[in-house]
Amino acid sequence: MTYEPSLDGMRGLCIAAVVLFHVCAVSGLDGWFRGGFIGVSVFFTLSGFLITSLLLREHGDTGTIRLRTFWARRIRRLWPASLLVVLAVVVLSAAGTLSARTSDAVAATWNVTKWHVIAGGEEHLLQTIVGPLGPTWSLAVEEQFYIVLALLLVLAIRSRNTHAVLAVVSVVGIVVPLILSNSISDWQPTLEFHTVLRMPELFAGVLLAVWMRSGRAPRPGVGVADAMAASGAAVLVGLFLFADYTPPWLLRGGYSLVAVTTVAIIVGLLQHGHVARLFGAVPLRPLGLISYSLYLVHWPIVSVLSAHRGGLDGVSLMLVMLTVSLLVAVVLHLAVERPIRRMATPDLPTIAAGFGAVGAVTLTSLILL
């Protein structure tokens, strides 16, 4: 699959929902964008689709999947910006501006925030999630999924029918967590962050990628594709605006319905109709290009500004938070994320440098916090 600007636009829509959800919650605008958290669910499905498509294309072109190259690429793509943000949060916390704990910083550095949340239990859930590094839980879910997915693909390509094996695994990855979610009677809020219980969203994207790569997926006409993308986007926007945060229902099928909606939008956008052109234009596509950096920086910035708001509140505070977050995200994207991602460094040095940086940030956290 070649680059699709409309999918970046889809990222832009979702990051806007997530950021507005967080910003409004601390600006006295609680009723606005109360379902913006669902944007994370859309990101899961979109990531599952894109990463699987990338790996299947590599297998189709080369006959194999090079795990070392894949992980080096992920390190270049994800770690530099995230480690820099963690380091900034550590320094600001040591100075008393933020309140990240040592355990929060170390968990975010090693991409295990969601396990940190689960291990802390309901008693410490709010302290971790509301902390400046709380949103890194979803990055931990995705990165651990990447490891599992790459290994599954390497095993699947050894079979005679790679696509069939992956399809079966994906269905299992969707059905089993749903059964588990619906069989848990003693519901805990921490289950919202459990990798296994969020697998249906990710595997829905995997299943779509396998289906489309198999060549058996029907191609809807432009009119049908536009209707799919537009109606799906309308459903998402409605959820972003009005959905309530009710974890039991969401994990017991709600997020899976969001995944189905996301799949419909992706299929519609890939037919390059009128809606795809809208998604691939300003402002959604540029916002999607900086979505990772914006996701990383917005909550630490919101945490700082909410504590030092200088009398601002409501819409004025929201606009200040959004403006500062966007500016910092653009700088991080242009100065760190994009240039490092484009570096053609060998795999082993990249992996070694990545873990060296992780070790350095961990040590800094232990010393300063």
All residue ranges of the chain with pLDDT < 50 are none
- In the chain, the amino acid numbered 46 is L
Q: At what angle do helices 113-130 and 136-156 cross, to 10 degrees?
A: 160
> At residue 308, what are phi and psi to the nearest 5 degrees?
-130, 60
As separate numbers, helices (DSSP H) first and strands (DSSP E) second, the chain gives 17, 0
User: For the chain, what are the domain ranges?
Assistant: 5-368
In whole angstroms, what is the distance from residue 20 CA to residue 152 CA?
36
pLDDT at 28: 85
Determine the pLDDT at residue 219.
81
What does the DSSP assignment read for 86-115?
Answer: HHHHHHHHHTTSS---HHHHHHHHTT-HHH
Length of the chain: 369
pTM beyond 0.75: yes
What would the pLDDT profile of 121-139 be if each residue is shown by its tens digit? 655 565 667 789 988 999 9
Residue 123: what pLDDT? 56
Nearest-5° angle of CA 226, CA 227, CA 232? 100
